[in-house]
C-alpha cells in the first residue's frame, strides 16, 4: 500500500496496533471533520486502510510506520537544530561583499 506523507502523519497521530480500533477511530475522525476537502481525504484514507490492509499483517505495518515516522521527526528536529546553530547566511553574505 502506498501512503503519502499526509496520510502517514494522520496514521502516526491516530493509529494504534489494533486494525479494528484504527478503522473505527478514523471513521469517527471523518465524521467530526468540518472541512469538506479534509473530510474527503480522511474518508479516502479510512477506506484504504479498511480495504487494502489485512488484519493479520496490520500489526507489522503499524510498527514499521511508527519507526519510519519516528525517524522522520528525529531527522526533522536535527535539521531544525542545525539550521538554528549555523551562521551560514552571514558567511555567504561576507563572501559576496
If you average pLDDT over residues 57-77, what whole number do you get? 95
If you average pLDDT over residues 60-68, what whole number do you get? 95
Contact between 38 and 58 (Cβ < 8 Å):
no
Task: Kindly list the distances between the CA atom of residue 72 and the CA atoms of 16, 23, 64, 77, 97, in Å, as whole numbers in the listed order.
Answer: 18, 24, 12, 9, 37
Q: Where are the alpha helices (DSSP H) in the chain?
A: 5-14, 19-32, 36-52, 55-84, 88-96
**Average pLDDT of every residue of the chain:** 90
- Sequence ranges of the domains in the chain: 5-96
**Does the pTM of the predicted model rise above 0.75?**
yes
If you average pLDDT over residues 21-35, what whole number do you get? 96
pLDDT in tens, 29-61: 999 999 999 999 999 999 999 999 888 899 999
Amino acid at each position: 500500500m502506498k501512503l503519502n506523507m499526509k496520510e502517514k502523519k494522520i496514521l502516526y497521530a491516530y493509529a494504534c496496533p489494533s486494525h479494528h480500533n484504527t478503522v473505527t477511530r478514523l471513521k469517527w475522525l471523518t465524521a467530526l471533520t468540518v472541512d469538506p476537502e479534509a473530510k474527503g481525504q480522511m474518508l479516502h484514507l479510512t477506506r484504504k486502510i479498511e480495504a487494502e490492509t489485512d488484519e493479520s499483517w496490520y500489526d507489522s505495518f503499524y510498527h514499521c510506520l511508527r519507526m519510519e515516522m519516528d525517524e522522520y521527526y528525529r531527522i526533522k528536529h536535527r535539521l531544525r537544530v542545525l539550521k538554528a546553530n549555523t551562521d551560514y547566511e552571514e558567511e555567504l553574505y561576507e563572501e559576496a561583499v
